[in-house]
Amino acid sequence: MTEHNAAGSRWTDLERPPLNTTALRRGLIVPGRLWTSLDVVTATGSTNSDLTARADRLPEGAVLVAEEQTRGRGRLDRKWSAPARSGLFLSVLLRPGPDVPVERWGWLPLLTGVAVATAVARAAGVDTALKWPNDLLVTVGGEERKAGGILAERAGDDAVVVGIGLNVSLTESELPVPGAGSLALANAVSVDRDPLLRAVLRGVEHWYGAWRDADGDPAASGLQEAYAAGCATLGRPVRAELPGERQLLGDAVAVDGDGRLVIATEGGGQEAVGAGDVVHLRAA
């Protein structure tokens, strides 16, 4: 992990300026509020791995941002890569207990998704939909594409590290895989990462505060309703690829109080899915 140093950076793309760490700290770190520290590094393997390794020495609200991630991870150990300074790659340290029961911590990636989608709409002018459980979708040329993702991992007994990856200025030729997207490709009105990062972190702070004040109750905090309103998975046919190589076909009809996706199957029953990969299918 290398500390951020704009003057000594090997990157010279003026269209992708470095984040302004001083201004970000001034705008986000306020006594009595959630964010307690913010570090920006030039490059690292994975912000989630770095923050998890240091979690026992840090207070809640630590934020680690990388201008470039070389070993970024998504769900199911998928790789996440992008050119330097082309996106937002960050992790935050949260300690929801003791007021929030551990069984409700699974809402943290969904909470983060709501915060990021709202921030992208406000700061970049791009409508972002949520694919259950933690993908961020944008529309490029009439086609749904994944532009971001969220990964939450336990860090010891009392902490969760939530990682956010968001493609901001990537061009078509820079996309890591076919079918990926970016805010630029979705006709963002701005690809300035500083206001976007501030909006993301303020959004997480808002929803995390409301959720924690409600002891993690997703209904009482308004989180369950907000997630359902922004979730592109609901109301459409899906295929859930579940552990043990099992597949479940049906219509996604709800997200339940535990954050699980409820699928109505052809036989008239319903099954709640808490883990696995969901594929959006075209309606017949």
| Interval 8-22 mean pLDDT | 73
> At residue 14, what are phi and psi to the nearest 5 degrees?
-70, -20
User: What pLDDT does 1 receive?
Assistant: 53
Measured distance CA(48)–CA(162) in Å, rounded: 7
Query: pLDDT tens for residues 203-258?
Result: 999 999 999 999 999 999 999 999 999 999 999 999 999 988 899 999 999 999 99
pLDDT at residue 106 is higher than 60: yes
CATH 2.30.30.100 domain residues, the chain: 234-280
Quick check: 221 and 114 in contact, CB under 8 A? Answer: no
Structure pTM?
A: 0.92
Residues of the chain with CATH 3.30.930.10: 2-229
pLDDT exceeding 70 applies to what percent of the chain?
A: 91
Query: CATH: 3.30.930.10, 3.40.50.300, 3.40.50.970, 3.30.360.10. Which one for 2-229?
Result: 3.30.930.10
- pLDDT beyond 80 at 74: no
Q: Locate tokens 């809640």: which residue?
A: 60
Does residue 10 carry a pLDDT above 70? Answer: no
Separation of alpha carbons 199 and 129, rounded Å:
17
- Taken as a whole, the chain contains a residue count of 284
Q: Which amino acid is at 159?
A: A
- pLDDT for the residue numbered 131: 97
Rounded to an integer, what distance in angstroms lies between the CA atom of residue 182 and that of residue 171?
A: 8
- CATH 3.40.50.720 fits domain 234-280: no
- What's the pLDDT score for residue 9? 42
pLDDT at 71: 67
